[in-house]
Amino acid sequence: MDQTEASPTIQLATEPEELKAVFRQRYRVYVEELNLYRDLADHENRSIRDEDDDTGMFLIAKQHERVVGSLRIHTGQQGELPQNFMGPLEVDRFTAVLPISEIGVISRLTLDPDYRGGTLAFGLMQRSYLYCLENSIEVILADCIPELINMYLALGLRPYARVLNDPHTGFLVPMALAVRDADYLKRTRSIAWRDLKKFGDTKPLPNWPAKIFGESSPVVSKKSDYSNTYIPTVLDDFEIFRERSSSLFFGLEPGEIQFLLDNSHLIELSAGDKIIAEGTMGKSMYLMLSGIAEVIREGAMVGVLTEGDVFGELAFLRQAERTATVRALSDTIKVLCLNDQIILKIIKTEPEIGTRVLLNLARGLAEKLLEREVTPSQPE
C-alpha cells in the first residue's frame, strides 16, 4: 500500500452489497492466496460464506470503495451463540461465571496482502473491542492462528484452553479478552487500556478472570508470562541446541538466544494435534523442544521429528505451500514458534543475530537436501 495514501475507513457493514464484498474478499484471501477452504467456497461466484454469517455482524475496512479487510462479530445478546463456537471455544467455562448475553466471539479476520504488517489489523480489532465495550460485552473469545499470537497478546487477549485442531489450517489457539479487566490491560500496556480509560469504566472487576486464566496455558511467551519463569525455563533447553552445528541457534550467545525467545512463543500440544497442514501456506517455522512428531505426505508417514529438529522453514522462507503435514505423536510435545514478522523484526533491529539465524537455516537446509535422496522426511 502507498504509505502516502489515506488509511482505509473502518465501519460496520450495513448494505447487502457490502456483505457480498466481504465474502468475495474472503475468497481472494482464503482460496486464491492461501489455498484454504476450497471445499466451502462458491467458486462460480468467487465467494465464501458459512452458516454463521447469518447471525454475525461485520466490520469492514474499505479503500476506494473496495473491501480490503473484514472481521466478524457474534454476541450472545440474542440468547445464544452459534453452536460451532460452543464446544471448540469451551464457552461453558465462561457461562459458568457470566450470562451468555455478556459473551462475544470474533472470527474471520482477513486482510488483503498489501495491508498486512501495518495498523489495519489492529484497527479492526480495536473497533471490535470498542463495539463490545459499548454493548456491555464482558469477554471476547477468538481462535488464533500462530502468526497472529503476538498481535492478540498486544491487544490483551490471553490463551485459556488447549489448542484446537482445524482440518484446514493446522492448530488454532483459543484466546480471550476480559473487556473491563483494567488491572491486566494496564499492566500489559494493551492498546485497549487507552480505550477503556476513555470510556471511563476502570473499576475493579469481580474475580472471574482469575478463575478462567489461573490455569496453566498451552502458549507461553514473554508477553504473556508475568511470573518471569518463561525465559529461564526455555534457556535451559537451549544449552544443548546452541552446540549443535545443525541447530537453528548454533553459535548464538545466551543473550542473543534470549532476544529470540523474547519474540517467540512456546506452544504445548498433545498426541494427534496437527502442527502444520500439507497444502496450506506457511508463515511460521518451528523448533521441537521435546517429544516426537510424525511427518505425513499424501497420507503416508514419511519421517519422524524429535528434540532439536527444525521444520516448516522452507515454506516459511518461500512463503509457499507446506508439502507435508506434521502431527504430534507424544502425549505432550513442546515447540518453539517463529513467524515471518518475528524474523523480519530481528533482521531489522538486530542484524547480526538475524544473519546468524539465516546462516544456520541455510546450513540446516543444505544438510536436509543431502539426506533427502535417502530419507525424504522433512516438511517444507
**CATH number for the domain running over 230-372:** 2.60.120.10
Q: What is the pLDDT of residue 375?
A: 57
Sign for the pseudo-dihedral over CA of 51, 55, 61, 64: positive
Taking only the tens of pLDDT, the chain with its 380 residues reads: 554 567 899 999 999 999 999 999 999 999 998 888 888 999 999 999 999 999 999 999 999 999 999 999 999 998 899 999 999 999 999 999 999 999 999 999 999 999 987 899 999 999 999 999 999 999 999 999 888 888 898 899 999 988 888 877 888 999 999 999 988 898 888 889 999 988 886 666 668 888 888 666 777 776 665 445 555 556 666 666 666 666 788 888 878 887 887 778 888 899 999 999 888 887 888 988 889 999 999 999 999 999 888 898 888 888 788 889 999 999 989 998 888 877 888 888 888 888 888 888 888 888 877 776 555 555 55
Instruction: Delimit the CATH 2.60.120.10 region(s) of the chain.
Output: 230-372
67 half-sphere exposure, CB direction, 13 A CA radius: 26
Q: What is the pLDDT of residue 246?
A: 62
Residue closest to 74 by CA, chosen among 37, 100, 46: 100
Which residue type occupies 105?
V
Cα–Cα distance between 91 and 127 in angstroms, integer?
23
Q: What is the pLDDT of residue 320?
A: 81
Could you tell me the pTM of the whole model?
0.86
Q: Could you tell me which CATH class the domain 9-216 is placed in?
A: alpha beta
Cell representation of residue 178 = 476480559
Instruction: Delimit the CATH 3.40.630.30 region(s) of the chain.
Output: 9-216
Q: What is the pLDDT of residue 215?
A: 60
The dihedrals phi and psi of 182, each to the nearest 5 degrees, come to: -60, -40
Q: Give one DSSP letter per residue of 271-284, joined into a string.
A: TT-EEE-TTSB--E
